[in-house]
Amino acid sequence: MITYNRNLLCLLILISKTIVSQEILQPSATETLLILEVLNPNDSPYENKIVKLIDENKNEFMSTTNSKGELKVLVPNGHSYFTKCGDLKNERIINIGSRGYSTFSSKRYTYRFTEFTLQFINYQNKPVIGEEILTLLASGDSLIKKTDSYGKAKFYLPIKESFDVRTKYNLIKKFEIPDKGYQSVAFDFRYQGQSTKEYEDAVIQNKLAMIEYAKQNRIRDSIQRYNDSIQSTKSTMVIFFASDREFKHLGEISVFDGSKKGKLLGTVNSVWSCHSGPSEENAEVKFKKMKGSYTYYAVSTQGYEWEGSYNIKGGGWERVILEIEEGKKMLD
């Protein structure tokens, strides 16, 4: 504790001596009195800190700012200077002329910067409040600010940096602002999109909707299985008929159950020009089957053949078409 107090005392004495010595500085024939008001980008004073002035030959001159961010320092005439505030550098040149007994006053920021303001509104044109906005600089550094009651977030970024601006879930845009030598540039950008809260609410709603959809599917499948089980206990009326758009009669067609050695189910004499075929009352070959998979064989008196299969689910009726063209192909 004693060492800490001693160091603090030494620092206060050093600052006090610097301030006092600055008050009595006077320009001369070879030196100009340089008075700078050093500010942070948000216009707050860069107070009680050391500032270096570096000329083209890398000679350094130091001074300490007061509580208002002001400093005074004597620098040789006829040279150009840039400033360093800790790790921050402002490369904009201060040119000191060769005239003796001169005083040069200026306002100076700790570094050249882009004042970037983002306004974030949602799709209802209302400001998005309290949204975290991330700026990721090309150097790898990042800054996070929250939007205010107007949906705005303000950043002070090194003027030479390109940067990405994003929310938690979404890239807003990549910016590259050209460096034209200005000490500061103001740039506003208006963005319309979905806020993080709206996005997360939508995700939750989508999950709930998916759960409800799956639930309804299970109910529907259960009902379908029940209906199928009931349906499967009912017989289905099977109707065989021949179809040919050109009405080419091929003689009587015999239809067998399973294969040519199977049971004769009946004979077909009429040929229909459509796939709907005869009504149940006018069907020449009709019989009932329970749920299952079945095969058939059919042959005409002129030697044309058909083989195929059909599935019965139960109830209603099932139409099996004997395409004349298919019978011709089997004969060929």
Query: What confidence category does residue 170 fall into, taking pLDDT thresholds of 50, 70 and 90?
Result: very high
Residues 252-284 pLDDT 10s: 999 999 999 999 999 999 888 888 889 888 999
Percent of the chain whose pLDDT exceeds 70: 90
- Which CATH class name applies to 2-109? mainly beta
Residues 73-102 pLDDT 10s: 999 999 999 999 999 999 999 999 999 999
Query: What confidence category does residue 332 fall into, taking pLDDT thresholds of 50, 70 and 90?
Result: low
Residues forming a β-bridge with 316: none
Rounded to two decimals, the pTM is 0.58
The kind and range of the H/E element at 25 are none
Domain residue spans in the chain? 2-109, 113-194, 195-231, 236-331
Q: Is the pLDDT of residue 137 over 70?
A: yes
Coil, strand or helix at 279: coil
Please, is 154 exposed, middle or buried when counting C-beta atoms within 10 Å of its C-beta (0-12, 13-18, 19+)?
Answer: middle
Q: What confidence score (pLDDT) does residue 94 get?
A: 96
Give the span between the Cα atoms of 211 and 203, in whole angstroms: 12
Query: What confidence category does residue 302 fall into, taking pLDDT thresholds of 50, 70 and 90?
Result: confident
Q: What confidence score (pLDDT) does residue 113 get?
A: 94
CATH number of 236-331: 2.60.40
Q: Is the pLDDT of residue 249 over 90?
A: no
Q: 113-194, what's its fold? A: Immunoglobulin-like (2.60.40)
Give the span between the Cα atoms of 35 and 21, in whole angstroms: 13
Give the span between the Cα atoms of 113 and 160, in whole angstroms: 8
Fold agreement (2-109, 113-194): yes
Phi, psi of 209 (to 5 degrees): -65, -40
